[in-house]
A and B are shown apart, each in its own frame.
Chain A
Amino acid sequence: MCVELRSLTALSSASDLMKNYSDRSYVRALLVCGAALSAYAGSVVRDRLGNPQTALISNSDRLLASRSKGAMDLNETEYFHELADLLKDHYVDPVNDETKLANGAVRGMVGSLGDVNSVYMDQNQFQTYQNQLKGEFAGIGVETYYEPDKGELTPDEKLNENVYGFRYPKVVIGAVLEGSAAQRAGLLAGDHVVSIDGHWIIDTAEIRAYQRLARKNPTDKASLDELTRLRKRLRLESDDGITPGRAVDRLTSGTTGAIQLVVNRNGETKSFTVNKADLQTPVVDASNGLVKHIVFGPTTVQLLRKAIEGKPQVTIDLRNNVVGDYVEMKNCLAVLAPSGVYGSLVGRGGGTSVFDIKSPDAHHPTVKVIVDSTTKGPAEIFAKALAQCPGNSIAGSMPKEDVPVVKSFNLPQGAGYTLATALYREGR
């Protein structure tokens, strides 16, 4: 029954979510999410069960939508302008800030990509991100990343992706910072966040399970009981739901108070109470040729150059390393590696270009890098590239997969976003 709810029923609740949850992205996902979540509102369920008329009208005949299809070729920029004027002329409150509209549009576009690495950030979120690149952390002292919900859709579900394809990524603790409250509380890299302060991050695999069962229109008692169980669980979670973006906000911002955190660690649920605090970390933590913590940010390249100056050999520990800027990472790579090609960049449709470094330096140290599964993003590319220099060595292992190349861009009013522009593939 609930499966019949369409994206339309989601419209308002979805924008409710967009507004209230100030999520980093997933606008498209949220639109769909509304459809998915609305199905679990208890009283809607009551309507559907007890009220065939309501169901009938809200599922009116799609077969005969009688709209005259005027063909108007969209000119993207003009259309934006025209819509802005329409809002200015009719919206109940004055619309003075058109830049806000443009930022909103970017948010919508980035969100529509449904990519865990392409993320819109409002002013506060972008500030948090930039602070992290300078080694200034807040919240509980962790770095996080999004893990996509990779659940497969059946061919029929794929055709109706707006109904069945809703996915939330999982929020994963990527790194626990040295000296942080998170470290003292016992959080570990790899912990999957289940809930924060009683707010659940919906597991979208559960929504699919529910939809699949409901779609079969089952009549046997076992299936109906299972449907009721899934529906109740999803209702409880969505009543107190939180988007992944806002969950990350809670983990990484604020310097006072504490948060209640429930994580999933290898299938086991664990609860923590963790204080929030400021945490200033050096972006290059170097002594005696060992670089322990490196954050690829705007000041990192100078500090790194200084740290390795005159040293024939350095060890770089890249474990617990998730946050970083791709361009700055490449600058740092040029300090450690001679000019050359260190991999390829795979773009749209499989087209490749070279990943090359132009080093300004004549001499480069021999590098030993230490990695593990907590070496992510720019650090992962950094390690894979360095490992290709003759004489260098790598300790620990990383997944063989291609690594997304993620660049960040500024928007007006302090907002920004990241965009995955290619996949880095090792090998020359």
Chain B
Amino acid sequence: MKTLRALLWTFAFAILFTAGFVHKDFRSGRPVSLSQILLLAKQEDSSATADRVFKENYNRIEANYYKPVNTRDLQYAGYQGMFASLGDPHTNFLPPPIAREFDVQTHASFVGIGARVESNSLGGRFVTIFPNSPAQEAGIIPGDVITAVDGVATAGKTVDEVVDRIRGKEGTKVKVRILRDNKKVINLTLKRREIIAPTVTDAYLDGPQVAYVQIATFSAPTASQFDKALDRVMAKPVRGLVIDLRGDPGGYLETAIDLISRFVEDKLVLRMKSFGGKEEIATGYSGSLRNIKVPIVLLVDSETASAAEIFAGNLKDYHIATLVGEHTYGKNEVQDVFPLKDGSTAKITIAKYLLPSTPDIGRKVDEDGRFISGGIEPDFKVNVDPDLVVEFGNPSKDPVLQRALDVIKSKTN
């Protein structure tokens, strides 16, 4: 138990990140002062060369390029290239605007009016309005343009400045003037409140009597949302449980362990090998087991990654569930996140992991970036026309779900 506790502590900082096309990462929220690290580090000769190369060429480009150069952007582009040179797609330098975006996306809950804006010459333009948010309740629609916040015109302001003005404490109010269709001016007062994004949705499929639970990400509130979804959907007569992990980019390792512990107790979840060959293991716990007696099918695809892959891999390795769909993404790495004082963020791969019995799932691509191997192979492979408009959760318009229902049928007959 002592080991377990030590491990959990480690994992409080070691967070899993995903990749692929839609990815969300989570940060540890532990600011690191680089100058502190610098104090401890020794200056070496090889690094002096690198410093010189960087400085010389930075100066040359800054001074000689024939168009004006934003020096800050140039530096950040340099750091991005520096991180990219390691050849690891998950080790990235995030300049402040991207770091900010990253930060926001990694939280499944936040205080806000529940909308997303982009830059606009008048201030900002709403791009997305969240369901059940203050913004939606006030009738804001995508395309509306912000022209003033709390009576102050926003024309010419950057989107960050506009965002800062709208930001505030939970329960306080903000006045927003918007322009709709370039003609109609609307004044609104909105109350800021906490918005917790649902990460789990559930549905009861009447015909086949199957419970369907979809996990969008492995965020902090996911485990409790998952429990509630199961309570709801398993209350009816069910012949099987389908857990949809398609497009799930993962999230916290702790959340993966939480969910795995609903299905198996005290089992090895993964082995992790970090810098210098140091090995650690992560183990599930007891006391949260859900006693599910019906066949369980997991739906996976090539964007099922990271924590979602660990969840799927464990349920497969311990023969809890059958996997249906495409091979998973194949992310076998753990990243840590270092927020830096200037607002940028360094995201660095710190370890690789192995599942309990599945061989290394590390993704391999050819020189053109096309998938060769990796990920977890499903038990039943379903190839879906990529241009087909699939309605997740509707068996007649979701071939993968249909296949899962067939699998459940064959197991219960």
CB of A8 closer than 8 Å to a CB of B: yes
* Bound-state Cα–Cα, A409 to B64, Å: 12
* Bound-state Cα–Cα, A115 to B163, Å: 32
Give the residue of A49, A83, A407 whose beta carbon is less than 8 angstroms from that of B346: A83
CB of B53 closer than 8 Å to a CB of A: yes
Give the residue of B67, B93, B167 whose beta carbon is less than 8 angstroms from that of A66: B167
* Bound-state Cα–Cα, A22 to B161, Å: 37
Residue of B nearest to A17 (CB): B369
**B54 / chain A contacts, CB cutoff of 8 Å:** 76-77, 80, 102, 105-106
* Bound-state Cα–Cα, A128 to B47, Å: 29
**Contact at B115–A67, with CB atoms within 8 Å?**
no
Residue of A nearest to B276 (CB): A94
* Bound-state Cα–Cα, A206 to B295, Å: 46
CB of B378 closer than 8 Å to a CB of A: no
**Contact at B108–A57, with CB atoms within 8 Å?**
yes
Chain A nearest CB from B127 CB (Å) reads 6
Chain B nearest CB from A355 CB (Å) reads 14
**A159 / chain B contacts, CB cutoff of 8 Å:** 118-121, 159
**Contact at B163–A404, with CB atoms within 8 Å?**
no
**B128 / chain A contacts, CB cutoff of 8 Å:** 4, 55-56, 59
CB of B94 closer than 8 Å to a CB of A: yes
CB of A7 closer than 8 Å to a CB of B: yes
**Contact at B131–A49, with CB atoms within 8 Å?**
no
CB of A205 closer than 8 Å to a CB of B: no
Residue of B nearest to A67 (CB): B103
The digit string for A155-191, where 1 denotes a CB below 8 A from any CB of B, is 1100110110000000000000000000000000000
**Contact at A99–B77, with CB atoms within 8 Å?**
no
**B9 / chain A contacts, CB cutoff of 8 Å:** none
* Bound-state Cα–Cα, A56 to B197, Å: 7
CB of B319 closer than 8 Å to a CB of A: no
Q: How many residues of A contact B (CB 8 A)?
A: 124
**Contact at A60–B197, with CB atoms within 8 Å?**
yes
Give the residue of A27, A71, A82, A95 whose beta carbon is less than 8 angstroms from that of B80: A27
The digit string for A1-27, where 1 denotes a CB below 8 A from any CB of B, is 001111111011101111111100001
The digit string for A56-91, where 1 denotes a CB below 8 A from any CB of B, is 111111111111011111101111111111111111
Chain A nearest CB from B297 CB (Å) reads 18
**Contact at A81–B89, with CB atoms within 8 Å?**
no
Give the residue of B66, B92, B121, B199 whose beta carbon is less than 8 angstroms from that of A423: B66
Segment of A38-46, A131-139, A288-296, A318-326 engaged in the interface with chain B: A38-46
CB of A422 closer than 8 Å to a CB of B: yes
CB of A52 closer than 8 Å to a CB of B: yes
**Contact at B60–A409, with CB atoms within 8 Å?**
yes
Task: Count A-B pairs with CB separation below 8 Å.
Answer: 415
CB contact list, B162-215 vs A, under 8 A: 163, 166-167, 192, 195, 197-199, 201, 214
**Contact at B23–A51, with CB atoms within 8 Å?**
no
Give the bracket for the number of chain B residues in contact with chain A: 35 or more
Give the residue of A8, A13, A62, A109 whose beta carbon is less than 8 angstroms from that of B77: A109
CB of B386 closer than 8 Å to a CB of A: yes
CB of A103 closer than 8 Å to a CB of B: yes
**A107 / chain B contacts, CB cutoff of 8 Å:** 81, 84-85
CB of B327 closer than 8 Å to a CB of A: no
Give the residue of B32, B51, B113 whose beta carbon is less than 8 angstroms from that of A77: B51
* Bound-state Cα–Cα, A89 to B37, Å: 9
**Contact at A74–B75, with CB atoms within 8 Å?**
yes
**Contact at B105–A57, with CB atoms within 8 Å?**
yes
CB of B78 closer than 8 Å to a CB of A: yes
**Contact at B369–A54, with CB atoms within 8 Å?**
no
Interface of A is mostly: helix
Segment of B235-243, B262-270, B280-288, B335-343 engaged in the interface with chain A: B335-343
CB of A265 closer than 8 Å to a CB of B: no
**Contact at B387–A83, with CB atoms within 8 Å?**
no
The digit string for B102-130, where 1 denotes a CB below 8 A from any CB of A, is 11110110111111111111000101101
**Contact at B22–A54, with CB atoms within 8 Å?**
yes
Chain B nearest CB from A215 CB (Å) reads 8
Chain B nearest CB from A64 CB (Å) reads 4
**A77 / chain B contacts, CB cutoff of 8 Å:** 51, 54-55, 58
**Contact at B34–A74, with CB atoms within 8 Å?**
no
* Bound-state Cα–Cα, A108 to B386, Å: 33
**Contact at B387–A87, with CB atoms within 8 Å?**
no
**Contact at B214–A53, with CB atoms within 8 Å?**
yes
**Contact at B61–A113, with CB atoms within 8 Å?**
yes
**Contact at A85–B195, with CB atoms within 8 Å?**
no
CB of A306 closer than 8 Å to a CB of B: no
The digit string for B244-274, where 1 denotes a CB below 8 A from any CB of A, is 0011000000000000000000000000011
CB of B390 closer than 8 Å to a CB of A: yes
Residue of A nearest to B145 (CB): A156
* Bound-state Cα–Cα, A42 to B348, Å: 29
CB of B314 closer than 8 Å to a CB of A: no
**Contact at A57–B217, with CB atoms within 8 Å?**
yes
CB of B20 closer than 8 Å to a CB of A: yes
Residue of B nearest to A25 (CB): B81
**Contact at A62–B387, with CB atoms within 8 Å?**
no
**Contact at B105–A109, with CB atoms within 8 Å?**
no
Chain B nearest CB from A155 CB (Å) reads 6
Give the residue of A71, A90, A105 whose beta carbon is less than 8 angstroms from that of B342: A71
**A58 / chain B contacts, CB cutoff of 8 Å:** 22, 24, 105
CB of A199 closer than 8 Å to a CB of B: yes
* Bound-state Cα–Cα, A79 to B346, Å: 12
CB of A264 closer than 8 Å to a CB of B: no
Asked if A108 meets B89 with Cβ closer than 8 Å, knowing A77-B51, A421-B64, the reply is: no
**Contact at B163–A411, with CB atoms within 8 Å?**
no
**Contact at A64–B90, with CB atoms within 8 Å?**
no
* Bound-state Cα–Cα, A109 to B113, Å: 37
* Bound-state Cα–Cα, A142 to B14, Å: 51
Give the residue of B71, B116, B246 whose beta carbon is less than 8 angstroms from that of A61: B116
Give the residue of B81, B118, B131, B366 whose beta carbon is less than 8 angstroms from that of A27: B81
**B393 / chain A contacts, CB cutoff of 8 Å:** 50
**A260 / chain B contacts, CB cutoff of 8 Å:** none
CB contact list, B332-385 vs A, under 8 A: 333, 336, 338-343, 346, 348-352, 365-370, 384
7 closest Cβ pairs, A-B complex? A108-B81, A104-B85, A42-B386, A112-B77, A72-B341, A98-B50, A64-B112
Other A-B pairs beyond A63-B116, A64-B166, 10, CB < 8 Å? A20-B365, A22-B367, A66-B110, A81-B47, A90-B336, A93-B275, A102-B50, A118-B65, A159-B119, A411-B53
User: Which residue numbers of B lie inside 8 Å of A, CB to CB?
Assistant: 18-24, 31-32, 34-35, 37-38, 41, 46-47, 49-51, 53-55, 57-58, 60-61, 64-69, 71-75, 77-94, 97-105, 107-108, 110-121, 125, 127-128, 130-131, 133, 142-143, 159, 163, 166-167, 192, 195, 197-199, 201, 214, 216-217, 219, 246-247, 273-275, 301-303, 333, 336, 338-343, 346, 348-352, 365-370, 384, 386-393, 398
7 cross-chain CB contacts under 8 A: A12-B90, A16-B365, A64-B192, A72-B342, A81-B47, A81-B51, A107-B84
